[in-house]
Structure 1
Amino acid sequence: MFNTTDIPKSARITRLVDHLYEKMPVIESARAKLITESYQATEGEPMITRRAGAFAHILRHIPIIIRDEELIVGSSTIAPRGCQTYPEFSYQWLEDELDTVETRSADPFYIAEETKQELREVHKYWKGKTTSELATSYMAPEAIKAIEHNIFTPGNYFYNGVGHVTVKYEEVLAIGYEGIMAKAQAELDRCHVGDGDYARRSHFLSAVILSCQAVMEYAQRYAALAEKMAAECSDPVRRNELEVIALNCSRVPAKGAGSFYEACQSFWFVQQLIQLESSGHSISPGRFDQYMYPYYKKDLENGNITREFAQELMDCIWVKLNDLNKCRDAASAEGFAGYSLFQNLIAGGQNKDGEDVTNDLSIMCIQASMHVHLPQPSLSVRVWNGSPHEFLIKAAELTRTGIGLPAYYNDEVIIPALQNRGLSLEDAREYNIIGCVEPQKAGKTDGWHDAAFFNMCRPLELVFSNGMDKGEQVGIATGDVTEMTTFEEFYDAYKKQMDYFISLLVNADNAIDVAHAERCPLPFLSCMVDDCIKRGISVQEGGAVYNFTGPQGFGIANMADSLYAVRQLVYRDKKVSMEEYKEALLWNYGKGIDSETAVDMTASILKEMERQGRAIDESAVKSVLETVMTMKPSEDQKARFEEIHHMIDEVPKFGNDIPEVDYFARDVAYTYTRPLQNYKNPRGGQFQAGLYPVSANVPLGGQTGATPDGRYAHTPVADGVSPSAGKDVNGPTAAANSVARLDHFIVSNGTLFNQKFHPSALAGREGLEKFTALIRSYFDQKGMHMQFNVVDRDTLLDAQKNPEKYKHLVVRVAGYSALFTTLSRSLQDDIIRRTEQGF
């Protein structure tokens, strides 16, 4: 069994955390300069060779640092929480934002004037050479137009590396990179110059060997630095720590780990350097408590380590996970606000034989998150009917702290969902979570999770406009909505718009997929994913055993409530005509035309003027905009629109345990999940749906007009599969019952269910027991995932007013946690708006 005894936090951890957050994160230029130097020197060579050569050049020359009191070393930047840049994927957005990135509302970064000049010089080389530019050239014009009109955004991989993977940490711990190099060399030795795939295969395997060698040299640089620092250190305690660090780095990750401390250091080099190779985030440690446990158990039994020191090492890793950072473009920063890298680490669950394997490290993972009280790692726990009760109680104690961790996942939904996608039973049982909520089998999967955000509200807008948006035909012409005589006709029009835009989303994702394979294959990452070495190709070219693409839809609750309201008010009760509904949406239920809508209407009018051959100049634009801005509904119109809004409020809503509404929501979800799974990606894998928004429901809601559920224009849409904020009024169990009625088995790329509790709900042992009973009940009904905020509204409001008092206030945003004061005001408001539950 496992030990649930609390271990006190060391003073070292407090100081490391304080040091980490002393200053604003910094953008550094070292990597961008080094990769450019390497690319300039390797023009004409195979791309896989250039990638490995660039990675080696970076690791040999990037500045390194060992920070005060660190026990686990390896930093991608000199500044704490700093970030490097990755011009090979995209650079123009950064070029355009160099002077504003420090002052933007979401995730600002300090950047020195000298760094700006260095990056501007570097960027000159990359014009026409990036993955984003190549991807654009591959996209269909219709797909580009859909992106421009905010139907969906593939910005995650469009601008960045892919990431979203868990590698074979256990293999690196067992045999080191010397062992992996030996595997690659053995395959290379079997190659024959006359083989049809010799050119590609031999260059890939050589690139793997070069990448592994570079990582070992990088660790030796740290060993040498630690030795030098030890020789100069006057504090005998710190000198001894540095000597041990030097010894560890001289052995791992080159060789297999011989102790728990070496395993911790080896793990960290893997975690850090995957992210230095590419800018992909959501590099998720996966089942840390499983692959690290043998080293802990052996050292503990042999008296080579104490539980307290093992905990301190884990706490140090938790701090380091918050040291990694990345800078996104301003729009993406709004969607991923909180400087999150989504490094999901999961504890508990079953082994391949279906036995529960919760252990001492499972508890210590929870303890580490209690100690550092930071957003990373995105701690998760696996739950099934064999999960030890005290493990769930311990997890609930962490939830009660208000940190938004852990997230809870249901083995008894996720395992069959993955089997349905082709995973073996053994692999499915060993799943972990990637990024926010996405399941996969570690070390065998290239899941392309989070491949796009699909706004399910926008196709319904285009039903009302017959496919027109801002004066352009963006969707298909589904007919005049006022002439649709049955709800089935109206619903069918929505499905047709959905099908059309899903096909364009697939086109955009596949274009980006091909671009990454051509321009940015990743040999280092690929050496830790089966079966790349055997197949002789990178992950990006289809080397993984399991290949998926997982774009996510969001706005389920809005669409379910919208379509249900239209059915009730227009077609069943005939209380509102479709003409009135359409006008109410245009006028934002009587609130009038705001600036966003005015710009859209102006664009439509100007397009029509242009079609008629009328002159369009600056004065015409100004005149039309001024006219639109002064338009107001009559008093009678306004009164009717407000009456319609009140009637909509009276219509039953998803999230209140009303079976008729909930099963209607289930059917609406199918309009996204079912068509998507019929498509294939360039790596030979299947598309699979996710239903979660990260935090994009706020900025993308800002690009969406009023919806028939009563939601006002340009306000957030519902997050994940959660009910719309404030609409779940019958308590947490009712909300959970509703969400459980969705088909979670088909959403194999993950669902996200947020709930918010007042702290008093989890008070004492009784509160914890009721809380775990809620989770068990929801999972018994085949819900997939739950996560929680435990914080009262007054605290959040005070934190908005006095951020200096709440520097360490961590909240659950979407599939991740973040420091509340680092979030944009709009995202803070969205969290405050969520229904506050109690038992």
Structure 2
Amino acid sequence: MSELNEKLAAAWEGFAKGDWQNEVNVRDFIQKNYTPYEGDESFLAVLPTQPLPCGTALWKALSRKTALTRLLISTPPSRPPLLLTTRVISTNPLEKIVGLQTEAPLKRAIIPFGGIKMVEGSCKAYDRELDPMLKKIFTEYRKTHNQGVFDVYTKDILNCRKSGVLTGLPDAYGRGRIIGDYRRVALYGIDFLLKDKYAQFLSLQSDLENGVNLEATIRLREEISEQHRALGQIKEMAAKYGCDISGPATNAQEAIQWTYFGYLAAVKSQNGAAMSFGRVSTFLDAYIERDLKAGKITEQDAQEMIDHLVMKLRMVRFLRTPEYDELFSGDPIWATESIGGMGVDGRTLVTKNSFRFLNTLYTMGPSPEPNITVLWSEKLPLNFKKYAAKVSIDTSSLQYENDDLMRPDFNNDDYAIACCVSPMVVGKQMQFFGARANLAKTMLYAINGGVDEKLKMQVGPKSEPIKGDVLNFDEVMDRMDHFMDWLAKQYVTALNIIHYMHDKYSYEASLMALHDRDVVRTMACGIAGLSVAADSLSAIKYAKVKPIRDEDGLAVDFEIEGEYPQFGNNDARVDDMAVDLVERFMKKIQKLTTYRNAIPTQSVLTITSNVVYGKKTGNTPDGRRAGAPFGPGANPMHGRDQKGAVASLTSVAKLPFAYAKDGISYTFSIVPNALGKDDEVRKTNLAGLMDGYFHHEASIEGGQHLNVNVMNREMLLDAMEHPEKYPQLTIRVSGYAVRFNSLTKEQQKDVITRTFTQSM
């Protein structure tokens, strides 16, 4: 004990004292020790023109090889990392931050606990054969999450999956969207955390012996034991690299390295759809500032350490199936890092390290990962606003989220974004990820009595299809309301099954070890096709929509007479319909029982699956053709927002975060000249546009999320024809960034047909 106390005292020398020294409380450490920065980017080091050190040079070499191919380097998939202590390659002494997922860079590990069938399919996609013994083990002896789920699924849920009214459910892969508080490894060291976990374990003994919430208590005690074991394995893994992380980090390099080891354990043991990094930049800045003031490092050293950390995040890879890639295209892992924002005390959380993270998009070029997310506030320092705007204009690699909306909602400034748009307090909250329900198809079920328009089979509850030559708004809305009740029940039932089985067969021990004992859980549902459904209802109400039926009486097409208001033009007639759909579906979900009493939430988000949803959905009453992509996330349908940037942004900003607290994704593309004639004007105008979109007050929520692309459609067309000219071309899609060249031709065409705003 005395040895541990000595380590803590030595590592914490020079930091302001606080509650954080006696309990796990990273936020308290940050608040007492970070240095707000309101200056500009002029302090950043100008990196030398000679060849870069080995780590960055390695990344450059690898990126040249991988930029033009979807599958990247097709090395044989490695053995499953049953322990976090799998062997590692030797490191180069010039490498500032060490540690790889597998034996070699970009090699994809087998992680079979989510489902062996998906692993087998993924291997086939890479022209590799799964080891028969491994298949036998995870088929006959060790049950997987996927098998557990399908043992319990109902016929109705299976039909919903088949038809695409529910799509992307995490029933065969890791759910992800859990953010371990990786900063804890650096601030406290593993031994302190082990001691804390053991105290948590003992704290449950009385409830266990007295039968208080018996099943939940037993489960939690077992989970804490697994977390305790995982912490020990993380320490062993670090020792393989010659790092003793039993105690806290003593300098900036160790703080970055220790934090990365926590994250590395996560991506070695889980293949979640989103393995987010959290909110580390301000935390790490405290260590960097301490070393800079002591003369131990230079600004160039600081930038290179951040470069090497970001390089490692860019190199994470998971083994995926082609079907998965259709939903989440471009190899995303969502190593989301949340930067900036304001403190509840009114100080900005922008530091010099916020600039360093953004600067990696120049020092190493644009890249989708990490998914850099700026927490935007109207009160952010103007210099940082303009620098972030400059980075967006130059790289189209950033996303923005409304700190003025989310910070007061949590009454906490230590939250981060999981995946794309999902906020949660770091180390105190986790999410049960739930993919999306297809509202456009649900409307077609309401019209056709529950018969799927593509499969020609009964999927929804059997009822009389709508008769008559013209669709009546009140009748369609009444029918749709009933089908939304049915869909909500199927959806939540599926998610309850999925997350029960994931906890049982693929528990994220290394991530949950970096959480408090009692975490807040959310059940994160989602909706797709919002703008299609809203425009369809608008067409039915304000124009004349005639269903065209096939020989079986199924409405398979629609004839529209007259004009109708379309979502994305700041027209309350249709915008209010979109608002109603979001609120209506959320209220239906809230009525249902959730696993582990998770708080129901909802997102308006599609990733690149708007293309897949479109394929699975027939002609819709808004005039959209069968198979055509939906608008991504909360976006208006392609080309329908015709009144400029402000009108489109205003429509989306009306969608209620109160009923979509898992996030509302809007991808905004604008041509450079629309922002102004020169760089300075463009930076100012883009920052001003975001101030307006995110404006929050008591009666106005403001927008929640914004992807920003500043580019011309002509460049994307040229990139389709000549990909070799644009090896690092990065664009924002619904909730994340992706290399344009890694998209399929179909997805590239979808991006190109989206609205490119020509005027403010």
Give TM-score scaled by structure 2 length: 0.86
Structure 1 residue matching 2:738: 3-state secondary structure: strand
Structure 2 contact 634–652 (Cα < 8 Å) conserved: yes
What do residues 241-291 of structure 1 show as CA deviations (whole Å, max 9, x unaligned)?
xxxxxxxx2x3x322111111011111111111111222142222222222
Asked whether the 8 Å contact 1:160–1:279 carries over to 2, the reply is yes
User: In the aligned structure 2, how far is the partner of 1:219 from the partner of 1:485?
Assistant: 65
Corresponding residue of 1:290:
282
Is this contact kept in 1: 2:79–2:110, CA < 8 A? yes
Q: Distance in 2 between matches of 1:342 and 1:62?
A: 26
Q: Which amino acid aligns with 1:779?
A: F
Alpha-carbon distance change, 319 to 505 in structure 1, aligned in 2, over 3 angstroms = same
Query: Which residue matches 1:704?
Result: 617
Q: Which amino acid aligns with 1:432?
A: A
SS of the counterpart of 1:16?
Answer: helix
Shift of 1:478: 4.4
Describe how 1:327-476 pairs up with structure 2 within 5 A.
Answer: 327-372=319-364, 373-401=366-394, 403-416=395-408, 419=409, 423=410, 425=411, 427=412, 429-449=413-433, 451-469=434-452, 470-476=455-461
Equivalent pairs, count:
692
Equivalent residue number for residue 493 of structure 1: 479
Paired AA for residue 777 in structure 1: G
Deviation at 1:187? 4.3
Tell me if 1:675 matches 2:588: yes
Deviation of the 1:140 alpha carbon:
2.4
Residue in structure 2 matched with residue 19 of structure 1 by the alignment: 61
Q: CA deviation at 1:314?
A: 0.5
**Separation in 2, partners of 1:321, 1:399:** 20
Q: Does 1:564 align with 2:528?
A: no
Kindly indicate whether residue 123 of structure 2 is the aligned counterpart of residue 98 of structure 1.
Answer: yes
Aligned-partner SS, 2:603:
coil
- Residues 315 and 142 from structure 1, CA distance in 2 versus in 1: closer, same or farther, beyond 3 angstroms? same
Deviation at 1:677, TM superposition (A): 2.8
In the TM superposition, residue 756 of structure 1 has moved relative to its aligned partner by 0.7
Distance 2:399 2:78 in 1: 36
Q: Secondary structure at the residue paired with 1:77?
A: coil
Q: Aligned with 2:582: secondary structure?
A: helix
How far apart are the structure 2 equivalents of 1:203 and 1:434? 26
Aligned to 1:220: 239
1:726 matched to 2:639? The reply is yes
Match of 1:774 among 674, 689, 694: 689
Aligned partner of 2:167 in structure 1 is 153
Tell me which residue corresponds to 1:175. Answer: 188
CA distance in structure 1 between the aligned counterparts of 2:373 and 2:609, rounded to whole angstroms: 21
Contact 1:380–1:405 at 8 Å: present in 2 too?
Answer: no
Alignment-mate amino acid for residue 582 of structure 2: A
Look up the match of 2:176. Answer: 163
Q: Does 1:124 align with 2:136?
A: yes
Secondary structure (helix, strand or coil) at the match of 2:597 reads coil
Question: Residue 65 of structure 1 contacts residue 75 of structure 1 at CA under 8 Å; is this kept in 2?
Answer: no
> How much does 1:741 deviate?
1.9
Q: Secondary structure at the match of 1:347?
A: strand
Counterpart residue identity of residue 15, structure 1: A
Residue by residue over 1:638-683, the C-alpha shift from the partner in whole angstroms, topping out at 9 and shown as x without a partner, is xxx5xx3xx46x4221111222222222123323233223334212
User: Which protein shows a greater Rg?
Assistant: 1
Distance 2:552 2:709 in 1: 38
CA distance in 2, matches of 1:586, 1:190: 61
Deviations 1:4-59 (A, max 9, x none): 21433453375233223225333544432x63xxxxxxxxxxxxxxxxxxxxxx23
Which of 550, 554, 562 lines up with 2:528 in the alignment? 554
SS at match of 1:448: strand
248, 254, 279: which is aligned to 1:256? Answer: 248
SS in 2 for 1:739: helix
C-alpha distance in 2 between matches for 1:582 and 1:490: 22
Which protein is richer in helix relative to its size? Answer: 1
Residues 333-376 of structure 1 deviation map (CA, whole Å, 9 limit, x = unaligned): 11111111011111111224343221111121211233222111
Partner AA of 2:85 in structure 1: R
CA distance, structure 2, for counterparts of residue 485 and residue 829 of structure 1: 33
In structure 1, the residue matched to 2:46 is 8
Distance 1:267 1:834, change over 3 A: same
Q: 1:468 to 1:123 in 2, by over 3 A?
A: same
In the alignment, the residues of structure 2 paired with residue 802 and residue 367 of structure 1 have an alpha-carbon distance, to the nearest angstrom, of 28
Q: Deviations over 1:572-630 (max 9, x none)?
A: xxxx54457999995656xxxxxxxxxxxxxxxxxxxxxxxxxxxxxxxxxxxxxxxxx
Q: What is the alpha-carbon distance in structure 1 between the residues aligned to residue 342 and residue 463 of structure 2?
A: 49
Q: CA deviation at 1:151?
A: 0.6
Residue 313, structure 1, aligned to residue 305, structure 2: yes
In 2, the alpha carbon distance for the partners of 1:794 and 1:190 equals 63
Match of 1:529 among 515, 522, 528: 515
Deviations 1:690-737 (A, max 9, x none): 001011101121111111111111110111111111111111111111
Distance in 2, matches of 1:656 and 1:801, equals 33
Change beyond 3 A, Cα 1:753–1:263: same
Q: Please tell me the residue identity of whatever aligns with 1:16.
A: L
**With structure 1 as the length reference, what TM-score do the two structures score?**
0.78
Matched, 1:716 2:626: no
Q: Is the 8 A contact 1:27 1:84 kept in 2?
A: no
Partners in 1 of 2:549 and 2:112 — Cα distance?
Answer: 51
Report the 3-state secondary structure (helix = DSSP H, G, I; strand = E; otherwise coil) of the residue aligned with 1:553: strand
Counterpart amino acid of residue 398 in structure 2:
P
Give the Cα separation in 2 of the matches to 1:177 and 1:378.
27
Per mean C-alpha deviation after superposition, the further-off stretch among 659-668 and 732-741 is 659-668
Instruction: Return the alpha-carbon distance in structure 1 between the equivalents of residues 576 and 218 of structure 2.
Output: 55
Q: 2-side partners of 1:96 and 1:260: how far apart?
A: 42
The answer to whether structure 1 residue 31 and structure 2 residue 79 are counterparts is yes
Matched ranges for 1:194-273 at <5 A: 195=209, 203-223=222-242, 249=243, 251=244, 253-273=245-265
Any idea what SS the aligned residue of 1:391 has?
helix
Post-superposition Cα deviations, 1:740-793, rounded to whole Å, max 9, x if no partner, equal 222223210000011111133344111111111111111125111111112211
Find the residue that maps to 2:84 and give its secondary structure.
Answer: helix
Question: Which residue type is aligned with residue 478 of structure 2?
Answer: D
The CA distance in 1 between the partners of 2:755 and 2:552, in whole Å, is 30
**What SS does the aligned partner of 1:308 have?**
helix
What is the Cα-based RMSD across aligned positions, in Å? 2.5
CA distance in 1, matches of 2:460, 2:75: 40
Asked if 1:750 is matched to 2:663, the reply is yes
Amino acid at match of 2:173: N
Secondary structure of 1:61 counterpart = coil
**In structure 1, what is the Cα distance between the partners aligned to 2:553 and 2:623?**
10
> How many Å separate the matches in 2 of 1:822 and 1:722?
22
Give the distance between the partners of 1:9 and 1:165, measured in 2 at CA. Answer: 35
> Structure 1 residues 822 and 389, CA, compared in 2 at 3 Å: closer, same or farther?
same
The residue type equivalent to 1:695 in the other structure is T
3-state SS of paired residue (1:127): helix
